[in-house]
Every structure is written in C-alpha cells, then in structure tokens.
Amino acid sequence: MKIVSALVGLILGAGLGVGSALAAAGIIGPGMRLGGAIDLDGWTSDWTIGSEAANPWTRARVARHGLLALSKDEAVYFTRNTDDAGDRLAEACTYRVSGGIHPAQWWSITLYDATSYLPRNTDDALSFDLTDAEAAGTTEDWSFLIAPLPADSEWVSSRDAGQFDLTLRLYKPSPELIAAPEATLTPPRIEKLGCGEAN
C-alpha cells in the first residue's frame, strides 16, 4: 500500500510539475505572469524580467518567448494582445495605434504572432519605433496602422499573423519610469477601425 501511495504521489507531483512548466512557458494556456506584475491599460510587464529576482516560471516564459531580457535599467518590456475595447488582436482587423513621448532614450513596438514569433511574411513592416516617428515629423503625437495590407500612412503588417501580440520596448528607461511606471508611462492606445475586406 505504501508503494502505491508513493507511486500516486510521484505521478501527481510529476504531472503538476510538467503542467506548471508548460503553462509558465506559454506552451499550454496563456502563460503565467508571476513576480513584479504591472498592468497599464492592458499593457503588461514583469519588473523581475532580466533580474535575479525572476522566479522559475518567469524565466521559463522568457526562454520560451525569446525575450532578450535585459535588466530593467537597460530595457523594459510591455506586451498587449487586446485592443482598447478588450477584443483579441487579430489579422483580419485594422487598428490605429497611437501615443506620445515615452520616458526612454529609444522605443519600439513590434508585432508577434500567437506563437511569439514574427509573422512569416515578406512585408518588411513588423515594427514601428522612435526613428519612424521622427521621420514622420513628430515624437509627441504619433500613430500608425496595423493591417494585413499596406496602408497610405505609417504601417505595420499583420499578414499571416493570425491572433497577435504587440510588444513595447523602452530602452534606457527614465529612473521615474522604473520607480513608478503607473504614474510615469502613458501607454499607447489601440483603436480597432474595422474587420474584414471592408476595412
């Protein structure tokens, strides 16, 4: 009877361990976000990424999703997979992403598919950054479109992305952002303009 109990305990323990590791890495489910969680209007981050304080689940997620995971003094990362109405970001829809000055020396917003990789398309338009905003003539009030087909304005391609996420990277963030992100960062807005061929 003791052997049976030990085997059941071993099987249950192994199952829970494997399940939590797969969930943490985002292989099953949405992935665990444990540690220094921050949520700014749907843009989420984990202040332990890239630090010794990161727990095993956070490290698994970073490894699985291929984040560079610099320390927060070097870069901070925010991700979002819904628009301002709370709907999942999807290739079939067109969105306007807009914002203003970010408290960092340089920033970028990059589109990743549901597997956390760049979509497999040849549009060469998967990111918008401070350099693009400057080229468009402003860093104070910038915007770009996300759509599966090219747009007449600044454009990020969602072709072949399916359901997707956006990652906002802020390089060399200000000390104020690191100390009080909720009070310092005004996150980008994501407005759905329409879905389907009628966009």
pLDDT tens column, 10-23: 777 666 655 555 55
| Mean per-residue pLDDT, 144-171 | 94
Q: Is 164 part of a structural domain of the chain?
A: yes
Q: Is 20 part of a structural domain of the chain?
A: no
Residue 31 has pLDDT above 60, yes or no: no
Question: What CATH number did the domain enclosing 83 receive?
Answer: 2.60.120.600
Q: Is 186 part of a structural domain of the chain?
A: yes
Q: Is 31 part of a structural domain of the chain?
A: no
Highest mean pLDDT among 135-144, 156-165, 189-198: 156-165
Please give the pLDDT value at position 80. Answer: 95
Paired tokens of 129: 């950054």
Looking at residue 23, what DSSP letter applies? H
Q: Is 46 part of a structural domain of the chain?
A: yes
Q: Is 76 helix (H, G, I), strand (E, B) or coil?
A: strand
Please give the pLDDT value at position 47. Answer: 73
- Give the helix/strand (H/E) hosting 6: helix 2-24
Q: Is 29 part of a structural domain of the chain?
A: no
Please give the pLDDT value at position 30. Answer: 47
User: Which amino acid is present at 42?
Assistant: G
Distances (CA, A) of 41 to 9, 79, 86, 97, 123: 42, 11, 10, 14, 29
Please give the pLDDT value at position 184. Answer: 94
Q: Is 105 part of a structural domain of the chain?
A: yes
CA distance 44 to 34: 11
pLDDT tens column, 110-145: 999 988 889 999 999 999 999 998 988 887 899 999
Which sign does the torsion angle of CA 42, 68, 160, 143 carry?
positive
**Residue ranges making up the domain that contains 43:** 36-53+70-195
The better pLDDT of the pair 151, 186 is held by 186
Please give the pLDDT value at position 44. Answer: 92
On whether the pTM is more than 0.85, the answer is: no
**Strand partners for 156:** 146
Q: Is 13 part of a structural domain of the chain?
A: no
If one counts the domains in the chain, the total is 1
